[in-house]
Amino acid sequence: MRFLRDWILPIVIGLLVALLVKTFLFQFVKVDGSSMQPNLQDSERVLVWKPMEVKRMSVIVFDAHGEDPAATEPVDYVKRVIGVPGDTISYKDGKLYVNDKLVPQKFIDEEQRTTGTGNWTLASIANKYGWAKSPKKVPKDSYFVLGDHRSVSNDSRYWGFVKKSKVMGVVKVPFWSKNDQAKKNINKLATD
């Protein structure tokens, strides 16, 4: 009985606490690929805060299975939220517009803002890629996401919106990271 109390019970309690933290508070994920450069690098580990509110410009992790047709099994994507429910979005001459207002994109350089982005609206890319019936706005309980490195990112421009139910949480660069620019561009840009 003493062995149970001194060894087994603390291990079980520790495992339960770890499971609760991972399920409801936070967990670490590894960035896979270059679509979030220059702010997040391939294989970089970041924290995902689960109870945090998703806002415009938040960086999120979501399960792309069922969102991106190429994701044939559960896989986590890391992308930046550009549009929240009710937003209109367009891109013209390397400039991003949300609700007809120019959105500064100082978190990426000119090449990342312009190369391969083209001119589009939600309706035009939906028609081009066949992912929705000419939406004018981001639907309820959904987000429109882009990678920061626009020319290499597989994102909402190609396969549509991310359902709120697929979002794991909001990415935060850990305080011990030496990349101060990433902390600023990931942790502090989210707006209402």
Over residues 153-175, the mean pLDDT reads: 93
Answer whether 166's CB lies under 8 Å from 63's CB.
yes
Percent of the chain at pLDDT above 90? 56
Catalytic residue, from 79, 142, 153, 172: name it. Answer: 79
**H/E element holding 23?**
helix 9-24
Answer whether 84's CB lies under 8 Å from 99's CB.
no
Q: What pLDDT shows up at residue 157?
A: 94
Q: Which of 57, 52, 61 is nearest to 24 (CA)?
A: 52
pLDDT tier for residue 49 given thresholds of 50, 70 and 90: confident
User: Token pair 């902390």 is at which residue?
Assistant: 183
Q: What pLDDT shows up at residue 4?
A: 64
Q: What pLDDT shows up at residue 24?
A: 59
Over residues 59-73, the mean pLDDT reads: 94
**C-alpha 72: how far from chain center:** 19
Which range of 44-53, 111-120, 141-150 scores highest in mean pLDDT? It is 141-150
Strand partners, 97: 90, 102
Q: What pLDDT shows up at residue 163?
A: 97
117 vs 166, residue with greater confidence: 166
Known active-site residue 79: yes
What are the C-alpha distances in Å from 73 to residues 48, 66, 145?
21, 8, 20
Task: Give me the phi and psi of 119, to 5 degrees please.
Answer: -110, 130
Catalytic residue, from 22, 30, 35, 106: name it. Answer: 35
- With a cut of 60, say whether residue 132 has pLDDT above it: yes
pLDDT tier for residue 131 given thresholds of 50, 70 and 90: confident
- With a cut of 70, say whether residue 58 has pLDDT above it: yes
Over residues 51-66, the mean pLDDT reads: 93
Q: What pLDDT shows up at residue 122?
A: 95
* Helices and strands in the chain: count of H runs, count of E runs: 6, 11
Strand blocks (E) in the chain: 26-30, 45-49, 59-63, 76-83, 89-92, 95-98, 101-103, 120-121, 142-146, 162-163, 167-172
CATH of region 25-187: 2.10.109.10
Integer Cα distance of 64 and 45 in angstroms: 19
pLDDT for 8-48, tens place per residue?
Answer: 766 766 666 666 556 656 688 898 999 999 999 999 888 89
Q: What pLDDT shows up at residue 179?
A: 79
Over residues 71-93, the mean pLDDT reads: 95
Residue 39, CB-side half-sphere exposure with 13 Å CA sphere: 30
End-to-end CA distance of the chain: 55
Rg, C-alpha atoms of the chain:
19
Mean per-residue pLDDT over the chain, rounded: 87
